[in-house]
Structures are given as structure tokens and as C-alpha cells.
Structure 1
Amino acid sequence: MIKIYGARENNLKNINLEIPKNKLVVFTGLSGSGKSTLAFDTLYAEGQRRYIESLSSYARQFLDRVGKPDVDKIEGLTPAIAIDQKTTSKNPRSTVGTITEIYDYLRLLYARVGKQHCHLCGKEISQMSVADIIEQVLKLPPETKLSILAPLVREKKGSFADMIESLRHKGYVRALIDGVMVRLDEEVELLKTKKHTIKVIIDRVVVREENKERIATDIEKALLESYGEVELDISNAEEVGLPTSHIHYSEHLACFDCKISFEPLEPLSFSFNSPKGACPTCDGLGIRYTLDLKKIINEHVSIEEGAIKIFYGFNKSFYAKFLHAFCEGAGINTKIPYEELEEYQQKAILHGGVEDATFFWKKHKLTRKWEGVIKIAYDMLKDEKELGDYMSEKTCDTCGGYRLKKESLAVRLAKKNIADILELPIDQCLAFFKDEKNFASMKAQHKMISEPILKEIKERLYFLFDVGLGYISLGRDARTISGGEAQRIRIASQIGSGLTGVMYVLDEPSIGLHERDTLKLIRTLRSLQKKGNSVIVVEHDKETIKTADFIVDIGPGAGKFGGEVVFQGTNEELLKSNTLTAQYLNGTKVINYRENRKQTRWIELNHVTINNIQNLDVKIPLGNLVAITGVSGSGKSSLILQTLLPVAKEYLNRAKKVNKVAGVECIGLDQLDKVIYLDQSPIGRTPRSNPATYTGVMDEIRALFAKTKEAQIRGYSVGRFSFNVKGGRCEKCQGDGEIKIEMHFLPDIMVKCDVCKGHRYNAQTLEIKYKGKSISDVLSMSVDEAYEFFKAIPKINQKVQTLADVGLGYITLGQNAVTLSGGEAQRIKLAKELSKKDTGNTLYVLDEPTTGLHFADVDRLVKVLHHLTDMGNSVLVIEHNMDVIKNADYMIDMGPEGGSYGGRIIAMGTPFEVARDAEKSESYTGKFLAVELESEKKNP
């Protein structure tokens, strides 16, 4: 057993608890009740601390530092691994393949058994003998001027003094060192800490009949010096009609038709993080940054009105005058919108014209050639950050976005190059490697080499498939995957690692998963547990709770009203108890707010083609709560977040001038006043951001304190009560309330500021009281406490009430934004919208708003969403939660599967209609919904 004694971290109330080892254990309870505090901030933190403290002081400095949690003692703890919801990497070079290490095995596979092809002609390449190389060189056009080089060192660190001395003794006079011609009879000193490339010049000769023997001898000498390689630098390539001035030959691999040779394959040849494999144009990123004309030019206004945005503003009037003078000379109308100009006129503005422009600048008459907006923009925006504001990502033209050199992309295995494999969804990739026909023609030796590599690849692909990630590809940029996907990738990686005796702590792994895929996830968690590991899961999902060996319910409320163990035991025992969780599980409480609103107003999206969606037409009802459903990767986000949302925003931002954007026709947007997307990004990234500042209630609180009698006597204005500016804040901690102390080899610690004692303000400011409370006291209040405290102040009370309405009564007004979860941040944004004046014609879009919510919190959220709809607004939710789906007015189900097998609408209508027709359709959602509605009938 894992035994916890006296856990008091955050809101935990001196908890004593025993958890069985090597079992699947679920921690559940209301949002803010203390589940994550117990699982992550106590159990995991102590497990990590003990492991790190057992290491040497040298090793500890390279590891994340974990402070000791507030707990008396924990017995039976094993090494801990946390798998949370954080995005795996912000590095543009990280992909799903690199994170899971599958790409390492793919690189090894292609390097060992891949067939090299010429990237120019596509033919399979073969090796060249010394005679072949000499023959190729002698076939060069007569009078070709050659420098014959022997490459000795490529990008290696060292001074190479002995090698250079050896070359002198052999009689060589010149060498190319780091691209610079160097005489060897002079002193040559190289920094040993820098990488160098050294090529000795064997001879300089012209291709002529009388020089044949000399050239042959030179080639043999070069091949001998460089162990089978020779390079030619041609000084008059253009003159003799050669397409390149540099030719590389090798005794190893070459294409005879194209007269080029190739380096032997190695795993680094397929690494986009190494110069050996990375595309030289984009350095292995697959993208390039170029000036975005949409960011530079406002096409809808005239040049006089500021169409060329970068030419207007502080210190930029010179360019504006220059442009006007050019347009006048070229006969370009500056009073009509830029988009109405002729194509050749726009081209002249962008790329330059033949006419000189004459204009006056500071009493001087100037005549200059107009070089075009693009050239001038690069000259103007010297500062990298300023230039970055006008840049956009563009797929690299050289590698097509595949990150690798053309030579690497020309290596094939079963007719596929490595990029083709990376583009396949996981399920198709797994099918490719499982199909023995693809490797039937392989040589016996190659089969023997590839067998262990293929085994590792297939195992890892299977684990990814089994956690519901069959729709994503190995080449997917790690920055684009959601927190839930990142977590499941890490779960799959851990299964592949085969560790035993470990305590895994997971944070809601079911987030972003359809009910069908949740069952696969549970199987995966079981496989982790059966390897001899303890699996502790913070979870609200019904199926996961039901399947657990042991359940810990934390409550009874949230915040200061939580922090207690209200139940511990098996699922059967939980269903017989009377906790809030049990009431929703056994059917005593049911989330039911179905309004059965009619569908009378619609918006239509036609010809949607994006990602896996092909030419789709869809009608979405307005004035309804609409659920967009479907398995992971079926196209929900593509349809709503990548199509409807940008189209609607573009339409509304352009004063309703168009109804067609990026090939998508949208009808009915004139019925909307605004569109609001409430995502799960943080409300702030500093300790000074908090719910009070974000919702605007802080402004009202500061104004209230400034109006108190004592504040007016002292002459304190509203600014005095801000912790972001000098005046009222504590200057020691600059309004943070905490100071970070570096402990070097020991963990860094955050301590309360010894001047303000964590109150953020100086003593004089804290002397100002409202109803006996200082502004620091108010910020320390929970939302529920603040609601009671400010009952007599409607402006504050109403904003605070909206936070309580979305289930955030437990958070404090001044809670650090960095400590808020994505779900909490999303609900704070929702509360802010609820507190605004409503037009009744707003479209709200929410992506999985039930993330991190207990059944009771979902109940409250559904009520809020229906309240928004009652006011005439339209609410679109992308959701897997059955309690939200069954309470929607209308639903659109995408599928039937993820990736290329999805992208279609397979069911639409009211939840009752979709459930009724589930047996006849391909809708997984409909089938699960039918079961949910049936169980509701049995437990009225």
C-alpha cells in the first residue's frame, strides 16, 4: 500500500489515505476539490523529490527541481512519472515521430535497407570504380578548367596541425580550408573548438587531349588521399556549357547518367536536425518565412487612405511621398481601392517600375527609381522583430515541406520514401508495415537486418493506435497537437519503454477522446498496470471510474469547502454511497435541460475542402445549442475552427461585404453581429494576471477603494490600488507578493515577500479598508465569498456572480493566472462574456468546454450555455461529453472514423433523432447516445 499521512498541500485538510499499489486508482471529485493537489502536488512531487535528492549534487543541477510538499510522511512510494496535459514541445523540429522515437527507427531502417535513387533522374544508383570516375572526368567538354580536390575533413572540430604538416611533406602547395584558398607553405592555424572543412588541391588542369594521363594520375591520387572521393571545382562552367561548377565523385555510389555520386547512407542522412540530412534551404524546418502581402497591404482601401500599411505611421512619411510620386508618374489612380487596380499596376507597386519618381522632401527635389514595396519593406524593416510582424510561414519550395535533402527523399523502401511514411495516418502506417508483401522482394540479408527494426516500429505504432491516435501522422508538428493528444502520445511511449515498479500519475487522459476511443484508452492503462505499475488517474469520465480497482472521491465541495476524502473504495461501494459523484453515477441526479428549440434560422457552409474534408456542404441552425461530435480526427475542428470561425470573422470584420472566403461559400452570416471563440489558452502568463484583472472586476474594486473616505483624505487615486505600477504596490517584490530565491544545487524556492508578507501592496495602501477589509483581503477571497461581500455593489456583484455561474466559485479573485487550468481559463472567458451587454445575435464557439469538469460542474455549464441560447444567441460546442450532447438542441456528427476515413457528416438532427436512427447509420456517437438515453429512462 501507498500510505499518506497528514497531507496539507493547498486546500487539503490533513488527509490520511491508503492506496493499493500496482492497481488502477481513480481520483475524482468537483473541480477545485483537491484531486490534482493530492495526485500531482503531493504524491508525484514527493516521488520526484526523493529520486532527485538521491542523485549526486552534480546530476541534480541538470534536473527540474521539486520542493518538498506539505505532508507529514508518505510510505511505500515508488519512482514517479507524471503524464499531464501540457503540450509536448514548442520546438518546430519536434514531430510525433521524434517524440515517440519511431522516427529514429525509420531512419535506421532506410539507412540500412533503403534503395538509393538519383534525385535528378529517378534511376536506382550504383557504385563507381576508379576507371569509371576517370572516364567521366575525361568526358567533360574540352577547355574545362578544373581544380581537382581531395576532401579530407568535413565539419569536424580540431586544429589538424599534423594533417597540414603531412600535406606539406607530400609536396602539396594549396588547400581549401573552410571555403578559403590557403597556401600550405605559410603558417596555418585553426581553432580547435570550431568545425572545419579541409580539401587539398591535388592539381589545377585544363581538359585537353595532352592532359589525359595527368588528369588520370591526379584523380587516382585524390581518391587515395580521401579514401575514395574526389571533387572538381570548375572555374568556367558556364562558358563550357556545364550546369554546375562543382562535381563530387565517389568510389561508393553514383548515377552515371547525371554524372553525380552520392555519400553512403547513414541514419543522419534522414535527420532534419543534421546538416547531412536537412534541406539546405529551410534548414530542416520544412517552412520558410516570407513577407506576407496581406499583412503589408489593405486591399480594401485606396493608396491615399493608407493601403500600403507599412508606409504610414511614425517616421515613414518619406516612403508615402515616394509612392505617391511614383503612382502619379505611372498613371496609377491613388483614390480607388487597391484591389480595383489593374494587375500590371499592382505588380509595378510591389516589384518596381521603369519610371523614375520625382518628389520634394525637406525642401530638396529628389529623383529616384521605384524598386517596389517588397524591396523597400526589407530595407525598412531591418529589425528582426519588426520584420517578423509582417512575415508568414510558407512551405519550403526546395523540399516541399518534407524537411530533408532531395537525395534523402530519393531513397525508397517498398516504393515509398521516408516522407511518404511520415505522411500516412498511424493506422495506415501500421497496416503498411504489417503487410509482408511490401518486403517480399527484399534480399535475405536485408530481411535479417530489418526484422528487429520493423518489430520496434510496429510495436510503437500499435501502442499509438491503441490510445486512439490512429488518425494523426508521424510527421505531424508537435506544436499542433492538443494537450490530450500529447498526453496519450506519452502514455504510448511509456508502454513502449517497458518499465515496471513505477507510479504513473495521469491528468484526465480521456480529454479529447470519443466514448469509443475511451474504451481503448482504458485497455492501455490496464496494460501499464499489468506490467507491475501503480496507475493513478485524475478523471471525471464515467467509464474510467467504473473500471477502476480503487476510487478516491475528494470533496465535498471545491476550494476551502473541499480537500477531504469523502469516499474511498471500489465502484460497487461508491454506487451505494451518497457522495455527489455517486449520485450522478447511480442516476439519483441527472443533467437534463433539454429545451427542444425549433430550428428556424440557419447558416450554410458550401464547398468546404480542408484537411480530410472534401467539398462538404453543411447547414447549422442559429439560436440553438449545437453539438459538433465525432471520433478524434473526424474533422470537427477543421469544419468549425479552421473554416466557419475564420470565414465568419473575415465576413464581420469586412463590414459584411462578402460571403465567400478561401473558396468556401457561407450563407446567412448577415444574421450575426459578432462571433466569439472561447478557447483554453491562458488568460495571462505572469503572476500579476488573475481572474479579477481579466474580467474587469479589479477596475471596479480599485475604484471602490479610491472612493473610501480615508483614500480621499490621503489623495489616493485609482492607480494607488494597482500592483502593476509604482505607488501603491510593494517595491521589494514589485507587486508579486513572492520572491524567488535561487538555491543553486538545491531546489529554488518561492518565499513570501518579507516586506509586504505576500499582500502585494505597501503598508500605507493596506491601511485603506472597505467594510473592514483591505484590497489584499478582497483579492484573497474566493468568488463565492466575494459574491456575499459585494452584494450591495451591483457592478462588482454581477461580474463575480458570472464566475460562480460557470462553476468557479472556489477560485480566488487574485489567483495567479499561471496556476489556472485550460478549462478554468476557458470558463473565466465565458464569465467575462456573460457579464457584457448582450446583442442576442452572437455566435459563441467553444472547444470541449467540459475539460476538467465534474458531473455537477457540467450540470452548471449546460445551464449557462442554455441561458446564452435563451437570449437569442447561437452556441456551437465541439464536444464528446454525453451529458452536453444529449442536452443540445441539435447535433452534427462527423466521421465515421478519423483522418482519411472521416471528413463526412454521418448524422445530423436532434439528439433523439440521431439516437433513434443510430442502428441504421455509421454514427458511433449515435450508438452511445442511444445507450445513454435508454439508461436515463430506467433511472427517471
Structure 2
Amino acid sequence: LFSFNNPYGACPVCEGYGNIIGIDAELVVPNTTLSIYENAIFPWRGESMSWFRDELVNNAYKFDFPIHKPYYQLSEDQKELIWNGNTYFQGLNDFFKELEEKNYKIQNRVMLSRYRGKTKCYSCKGKRLRIEASYVKINEKTVSDLVDLPIKHLVTFFKNIDLDLYEKQIAKRLLVEINNRLSFLTEVGLDYLTLNRNSATLSGGESQRINLATSLGSSLVGSMYILDEPSIGLHPKDTERLIKVLLSLRDLGNTVIVVEHDEDIMKSADMIIDIGPEAGTLGGHLVAQGTYYEILKSTSLTAKYLNGDLEITVPKKRRLFKNFIEIKGARENNLQNIDVTFPLDVLTVITGVSGSGKSTLVKKILFPAMQKKLENVGEKAGQFTEITGSFSQIKHIEYVDQNPIGRSSRSNPVTYIKAYDDIRELYAREKLSKIRGYQAKHFSFNVDGGRCETCKGEGSINVEMVFMADVQLPCETCSGKRFKKEVLEVAFEGKNIHDILTMTIDDAIAFFIAHKQTKITQKLQPLQDVGLGYVQLGQSSSTLSGGEAQRIKLASFLVKGATKDKALFVFDEPTTGLHFHDIKKLLASFDALLEKGHSIIVIEHNLDLIKCADWIIDLGPEGGENGGKLLAVGTPEQVAKIKESVTGKYLKDKL
């Protein structure tokens, strides 16, 4: 009865989803800064429909309704009243019901379609459970009330729960489990989440910590945990909590292996294994192993950054800005109606603890609102009052995330940055190609002609197994080389097309410089600049990490970046998976974009990148309902002096 995944417990109207297709409140009141008097209710404008609005406005004094208050400031009860109506006026629900009943009229059907969308289920009010489940209460709370509480309030509820002797006996073991699990979520710093939060709305750092809390909850002993960059998406304050959790896993008698770039986690490790010396073909050696202090004495790149021989230097002076974009009244999710100014022509970093509203501000409000302004397209932006600023200074906005660069198994870095076109032209100009009539398309594995027909240029064949996972086998015809034997006979300076695709970017640049192919070298150079020299030209994009995909996108913008059109770039945690040395290269690439007149906004937790910002916007102080406030803005030096800023506290040491 208390599970929405069970047909018995799920609300019969929405089948346990909490949403149905109905009248979307956000379409009915698109601009929540307007009051009822200023026509906040969209369908009640115009000559014929304003009668409904006037009915509410003229009678409002009889039931003390604030018609001049902005819609977003109304209480839940007042909003309910607008929808349900009373004896003095007809509510929105009845208004739309009437339209439904008369939907044989074309204008009514048009009107209804305009306001249709996903909306909260009217039966369970988005709680997903059938009404009967809410009849059962413990300490005056239903199960729906509990899952809507932030975890920290839930912890208090279960600590102070008031049961009689008999109930205590029944609940004894259950309460132990409930309290344990809630305390694990609190330990990993997620006490601001509610239990019914949709998992699709969690950030990467949050999902990873929920997995960690699950492992803690299983209280295994003698297990080996392997964590791949658990500090992704974590503020230094959250990383401290994470370290405590990892140490408690170790103290239970488990082995914990962490792949990590974070300095604080390295300091807490009992043993560090450092692999290098560089990346790709220049890596793969064990350069150092030992405790943190033993590593400091070695000559590895990591050690040089840890002991200060090499460092990411703080810029001598910060760039100044004249132009900016301002968002007023941002109040989506947990943002508390804040006004934020985003400078242009400089490197702006958005900081704050995990869950403080950074992604909401940038991804849900700034990006879609700017897209709408500049390109007249884009998703629906979150709730905000208005956007103003120097729009003439930028022509387009680019959101550079960590999604893969291509969906197909044939997509790869060299095709993404458009260098492969020039390489194919080069091979089509060879003497043997001309004799055999080969064109550039014969050197592509995406179209018929020169590619191996057996594997269609994939290099491997997928064997479907009936009861097991599919098996990938190298293609027997081309031995995984992707091309026909005849095409591979065409060579440029002794290398065929397959040899080129298996070269790393560093080797390819050296090869093409030696043979005076400047056009190709220029296109490959940005990949080396962003620190991807170790990646193979033809490496399948499915084998690239999120951070690598993001840097390939950055490189492609550096290739195109010379255009006159100024762009605003938005990066979401670009330091994911980066070593100190790579962060240095990333910052150099950012400088290159800024020199070309572009603007950059970065959501980031890494202090080495934050200290190099020209301007910081710090949100907080906590995550969830205690976040979403603007704590500090200014240069890193200014933010470090602001007492309220959590980021400032950690930034001090770095400066």
C-alpha cells in the first residue's frame, strides 16, 4: 500500500508517476512576477476572457485576496484558491473544465492545446500514492509527508518519535535500519535532499555519493571498494566529509582503492601509486609508490606539483570587464529570488557547495534565456523575472558539457575537429590513388567504397548471443583495419590510412610537420594544446572519458574560434578527471579563447581553477533549501575576505 511501484499502492489516476497530461500551471502563469491585477493569468487576458479576471479582482476584498502581490509571493493556499475558486468567482479548474465540455468549438480546442502539458496529478497531488495510504499516520505524519521532508528534518523526526511500549517492540529493528541509512546519507553530506527527489535531477556528485551511502549501509567487511574519482562535483567542504567516509570504510576492515586527482584525498591516503611519467604512449610506467611523504621526494609530475616545484600560478592581475548580462529574480528550484551579474570578456567561475543551485542558475536559467535572446530557440527557462545586459556583444552561446562527442561507434576525435577531411584529400592526391581512380570518399569508413564490406568500417563484428551479452570480435577480413586491402596499399611517406589513424595526436603532429602539411597540423594543434596529445586520431569516442570529450569540444571551438563572432562559453566542471598538469593546459586554452574576444563561465569546485578566475559568483551557504543565496561576488582576493563565503575560506590558502 505504501509503494508507488506496486499497482496496489500507486495512485490509480497517474499510475504512480505523480504527473499526468493536463493543464500545465507554468503555461497558465508563465511570468510569476506579475500580479493577478497585471494579468499574471495568461488565459484570462483579452476582451472576451478578461471577464473571469475581473470577477476575481472586483470581489477580492470580500475574502481578503492580495490582487497586487506578485504571483510567486502568494501563499500555497492563495494559489489553491485561484485554481479552485469560491462562491464569488470561478476558479481555473472549472474554467478549463467548461472548455473541455464545449470542445466541439474549434477555438476551445485551440485554447486547451495552448495550456496542455505535464502537470501534477490532481488525485494524489504529485505524491504518487493512492489516497488510502495517507489515512495511516504515525505521530500525525503520513508516509507522503515524510518523503517530502529534507533528510536532516527526517533524522530529527525519527530520533524524537513517540511510540508506546507495544509499538516500540515492533519498530525496534526497523528504527535501527531507518536511522542507520539516514545517518549514512547525512555523513556523505546529502542531508538537504528529500527522499522522493527524482534521480534524474541529481548532479553527478550527488549520485556518486548516494552509491557510496549504499555501500556504507551494507556494512560489509573484508571487501574491496574501487572508486573512480569520487570527488567529482564536490566542494572542498564536501570532500572533507567524503574522506571521513572512506577512512571509516577502511577501518571496518575493507580495502579501498581510489582513482583520484584531488590533493586532500592524496594526503589522507595510506599508500599512493603514481603512474606516468606523461600520458598515452609516454605513460604506463610506475613512477612512484609510497606514503604521501615518500611521494613528495620522488621526481614524478604529481610530486612536483605537490611539493611546489611546479605550480599553477595565480595570475598577476585580473581582467577587467565593462559588459555584462544580468539575471534578475532567479527563483527556480532552491534559488532564493537572487539578482546575478555575469561579466563578459573575462573568466567567470560559479562556486558553492554541492546542491547550492549552481547548475540551476547556469543550466536552467542563464543558458536557455540567452539562447532565446540570441537564437530565438531553446528549452523553457526556469523561473526568473528578467534578463538584461549587453546582448550585442555576443552572437551565440555554447554549452560545453561532458556528453560523448558522437553517438556512433565510428565517431572519433579526428573527424570531430574536421581534420580527417584534409587527411583524406591528401591520400586521394597520391599517385596510386589517381591510377586506381580513388577519391577522398574511398578513405572514409562511413560510406561504401574503400571501407571493408564485412564489418562496414567498424573494425569489429558484433556477434549476438542468445542468452548472454553480445561479443565483439575483430573483423577477420580486414583484421580490424577497417579498410579494403587495395585501399591500404596507398601510402603517404610510407604510412597508409590505418597507420595514420592509430597514431597518437603528438606523433601525428610531428609526422605532418616533418612532411610540411601545415593545414592538417593547424587543426590537430588545439587537441595537443588542451592536453590530449596521448589520444589516438581514430580512437572510438565511446572509449573517451567525460573530461576528454569535453576537451575535444573545447579544441574544436579553438579551431573555429578565430571567427569574428564572439561567443559565450559555458563549461560544467571541466577539471573532471584532470591532473594538475592538465589543468594548467586547460587554463592556457581558456586564455586563448578569451584573447580571441570570447567570454567564459565555468561551474567549478577545483580551487586551482577558481584562484585563476577574474570574477567569482559564490552561492550557498548549504545545499538544498538552505542554499540558493548569493554569498559573495568579486575577484578571488575579494571573495577570500568575505566571512560568509564557504569557498572563500578554502581559497585563502591557495592565494
Q: TM-score, normalization: structure 2?
A: 0.83
Cα separation, 1, equivalents of 2:214 and 2:103: 61
- Tell me what 1:807 maps to: 531
Structure 2: stretches of 5+ with no match in the other structure: 28-44, 51-95
**Alignment-mate amino acid for residue 431 of structure 1:** T
- Tell me what 1:708 maps to: 430
Cα offset for 1:579? 0.7
Out of 587, 601, 616, the position equivalent to 1:862 is 587
- CA distances 1:540-561 after superposition (whole Å, capped 9, x unpaired): 0000001100000000111111
Cα separation, 2, equivalents of 1:922 and 1:459: 32
- Tell me what 1:49 maps to: none
Give 1:285-296 correspondences, 5 Å limit.
285-289=17-21
**Alignment-mate amino acid for residue 932 of structure 1:** K
- CA distances 1:740-792 after superposition (whole Å, capped 9, x unpaired): 34567887542211100111111122222222222221111111112222333
Cα separation, 1, equivalents of 2:417 and 2:346: 26
- Residue 486 in 1 paired to residue 218 in 2? no
Cα offset for 1:469? 1.9
- Tell me what 2:353 maps to: 631
Q: Secondary structure at the match of 1:835?
A: helix
Cα separation, 2, equivalents of 1:580 and 1:726: 46
- Tell me what 1:882 maps to: 607
- Tell me what 2:494 maps to: 772
- Tell me what 1:165 maps to: none
Cα separation, 1, equivalents of 2:384 and 2:433: 56
- Tell me what 2:472 maps to: 750
Distance 1:459 1:352, change over 3 A: closer
Higher relative contact order (CA closer than 8 Å, sequence separation 6+) = 1
Query: CA contact under 8 A between 2:394 and 2:567: conserved in structure 1?
Result: yes
Cα separation, 2, equivalents of 1:802 and 1:905: 36
Kindly tell me the number of residue pairs found equivalent between the two proteins.
Answer: 587
Give 1:766-915 correspondences, 5 Å limit.
766-791=488-513, 792-836=516-560, 837-839=562-564, 841-915=566-640
Cα separation, 2, equivalents of 1:535 and 1:494: 12
Cα separation, 1, equivalents of 2:471 and 2:382: 55
Higher mean C-alpha displacement, 495-504 vs 701-710: 701-710
**Alignment-mate amino acid for residue 545 of structure 1:** M
Cα separation, 2, equivalents of 1:789 and 1:341: 70
Query: CA contact under 8 A between 2:266 and 2:292: conserved in structure 1?
Result: yes
Query: CA contact under 8 A between 1:730 and 1:755: conserved in structure 2?
Result: yes
Query: CA contact under 8 A between 2:227 and 2:257: conserved in structure 1?
Result: yes
Q: Identify, as 1 or 2, the structure richer in strand.
A: 1
Q: Secondary structure at the match of 1:846?
A: strand
Query: CA contact under 8 A between 2:462 and 2:471: conserved in structure 1?
Result: yes
- Tell me what 1:65 maps to: none
Give 1:212-291 correspondences, 5 Å limit.
269-289=1-21
Q: Secondary structure at the match of 1:686?
A: coil
Give 1:58-457 correspondences, 5 Å limit.
269-289=1-21, 372=109, 393-434=118-159, 436=160, 439-440=161-162, 442-457=163-178
**Alignment-mate amino acid for residue 873 of structure 1:** H
Cα offset for 1:474? 1.4
Cα offset for 1:831? 0.9
Structure 1: stretches of 5+ with no match in the other structure: 1-268, 296-339, 357-368, 378-389, 934-940
**Alignment-mate amino acid for residue 433 of structure 1:** F
- Tell me what 1:649 maps to: 371
Distance 1:418 1:911, change over 3 A: same
**Alignment-mate amino acid for residue 632 of structure 2:** A
Out of 461, 473, 481, the position equivalent to 2:182 is 461
Distance 1:467 1:355, change over 3 A: closer
Cα separation, 2, equivalents of 1:660 and 1:477: 17
Distance 1:376 1:726, change over 3 A: farther
Cα separation, 1, equivalents of 2:128 and 2:276: 51
- CA distances 1:442-478 after superposition (whole Å, capped 9, x unpaired): 3322222223212211111111121122222211222
- Tell me what 2:313 maps to: 592
Cα separation, 1, equivalents of 2:435 and 2:108: 64
- CA distances 1:15-38 after superposition (whole Å, capped 9, x unpaired): xxxxxxxxxxxxxxxxxxxxxxxx
Cα offset for 1:370? 8.5
Query: CA contact under 8 A between 2:134 and 2:142: conserved in structure 1?
Result: yes
Query: CA contact under 8 A between 2:302 and 2:580: conserved in structure 1?
Result: yes
**Alignment-mate amino acid for residue 537 of structure 1:** V
- Tell me what 1:6 maps to: none
- CA distances 1:700-750 after superposition (whole Å, capped 9, x unpaired): 222322233322332222322221222221121121101234567887542
Query: CA contact under 8 A between 1:647 and 1:661: conserved in structure 2?
Result: no
Higher mean C-alpha displacement, 602-611 vs 684-693: 684-693
**Alignment-mate amino acid for residue 588 of structure 1:** D
- CA distances 1:811-853 after superposition (whole Å, capped 9, x unpaired): 1111111111111111111111111033363111101100000
Cα separation, 2, equivalents of 1:343 and 1:653: 34
**Alignment-mate amino acid for residue 586 of structure 1:** N
Cα separation, 2, equivalents of 1:876 and 1:470: 29
Higher mean C-alpha displacement, 806-815 vs 786-795: 786-795
Q: Secondary structure at the match of 1:613?
A: coil
**Alignment-mate amino acid for residue 530 of structure 1:** D
Identity %: 47
Out of 653, 664, 682, the position equivalent to 2:386 is 664
Cα offset for 1:914? 1.2
Q: Secondary structure at the match of 1:614?
A: coil
Cα separation, 2, equivalents of 1:512 and 1:883: 15
**Alignment-mate amino acid for residue 750 of structure 1:** Q
Q: Secondary structure at the match of 2:337?
A: strand
Query: CA contact under 8 A between 1:683 and 1:689: conserved in structure 2?
Result: yes
Cα separation, 2, equivalents of 1:533 and 1:660: 44
- CA distances 1:681-712 after superposition (whole Å, capped 9, x unpaired): 11123311111222222222223222333223
Cα separation, 2, equivalents of 1:752 and 1:576: 45
- Residue 526 in 1 paired to residue 247 in 2? yes
Distance 1:431 1:672, change over 3 A: farther
Distance 1:573 1:795, change over 3 A: same
**Alignment-mate amino acid for residue 311 of structure 2:** V
Cα separation, 2, equivalents of 1:704 and 1:409: 72
Cα offset for 1:869? 1.6
Distance 1:662 1:445, change over 3 A: same
- Residue 503 in 1 paired to residue 235 in 2? no
Query: CA contact under 8 A between 2:277 and 2:285: conserved in structure 1?
Result: yes
User: Greater CA radius of gyration, 1 or 2?
Assistant: 1
Query: CA contact under 8 A between 1:593 and 1:863: conserved in structure 2?
Result: no
**Alignment-mate amino acid for residue 245 of structure 2:** T
Cα separation, 2, equivalents of 1:284 and 1:755: 52
Cα offset for 1:930? 0.5
- Indicate the RMSD between aligned Cα atoms, in angstroms: 3.1
Cα offset for 1:485? 2.2
Cα separation, 2, equivalents of 1:412 and 1:913: 51
Cα offset for 1:671? 2.5
Distance 1:705 1:743, change over 3 A: same
Cα separation, 2, equivalents of 1:898 and 1:650: 29
Cα separation, 2, equivalents of 1:732 and 1:760: 9
Cα separation, 1, equivalents of 2:342 and 2:600: 11
- Tell me what 1:513 maps to: 234
